[in-house]
Amino acid sequence: MINIVLFGPPGSGKGTQAQNLIHKFNLKQISTGDLFRYNIKNETELGKLAKSYIDKGELVPDQVTIDMLTEEVKKPTEAAGFIFDGFPRTAAQTEALEKIVKEVLNDEISICLSLVVDDEILVKRLLKRGETSGRSDDADENIIRNRIKEYYAKTAEVADLYKKQGKYVEVDGVGDINDISEKLYTEVEKVK
């Protein structure tokens, strides 16, 4: 299997690149953000809880997110591996993911692909996306900046954990979408 952690701050292009990667390598994308939004739309208890954090640009508590992710990984799939998009976002989630992938899939994370984008470009991209995404957390610059703050406070250290394992690769996330995809494909081919 190929199991990719697609990493980077909000607005770095994880969702966009995941779409190309799933087709190229026949992978299943698990986006925890998308799962939360699905639950919010369907007004589930999980959705109500998640919304109270997401609307402030904060992270949902680890155990809630980890349990939701675990359920998704357990679902049968024909795919050749997974792309984890927007997860892990904390050190605890990183540890949990390692355990889940080992116990459920009898496998390990192949690579952590990190999309690097300057903060001010992120803010511009997210405000632009907010014009059409309908996402409350894209609509307000203060919330966007809080999401970036949360990223530095809690998520950036995830990179160090994958660096220690020799699995961390940075790719410039600014430029033509397909050019960025090509760079990602090259990195995946190396660990395939």
Residues that bind ligand C5P (CB under 6 A): 10, 32-33, 36, 53-54, 57-60, 65, 86-87, 89, 137, 147
| CB-based contacts of 132, cutoff 8 Å, min separation 6 | none
Which residue number, 118 or 182, has a Cβ lying nearer to ligand C5P? 118
Which residue number, 16 or 20, has a Cβ lying nearer to ligand C5P? 16
We find the least distance from the C-beta atom of residue 119 to ligand C5P, in angstroms, to be: 15
Please choose, from the candidates 38, 98, 113, 43, the residue with its C-alpha nearest in 3D space to the C-alpha of residue 68: 38
Piece of the chain touching Mg ion by CB under 5 A; list 12-20, 93-101, 135-143, 160-168: 12-20
- Of positions 3, 13, 15, 189, contacts Mg ion by CB under 5 A: 15
Window 33 to 52, contacts with Mg ion (CB under 5 A): 33
Task: Report yes or no: 115 and 171 within 8 Å, Cβ to Cβ.
Answer: yes
- Rounded distance between C-alpha atoms, residue 43 and residue 36, angstroms: 10
From the number of C-beta atoms within 10 Å of its C-beta (0-12, 13-18, 19+), residue 4 rates as buried
Which residue number, 80 or 145, has a Cβ lying nearer to ligand C5P? 145
We find the least distance from the C-beta atom of residue 66 to ligand C5P, in angstroms, to be: 9
Residue nearest to ligand C5P (CB): 33
CA 97, 102, 106, 110 torsion-angle sign: positive
We find the least distance from the C-beta atom of residue 13 to Mg ion, in angstroms, to be: 9
Maximum C-alpha span of the chain: 42
Which residue number, 58 or 187, has a Cβ lying nearer to ligand C5P? 58
Tokens of 147: 């999401």
Which residue number, 162 or 166, has a Cβ lying nearer to ligand C5P? 162
Partner residues linked to 2 by β-bridges: 81
- Enumerate binding residues for Mg ion (CB under 5 A): 15, 33
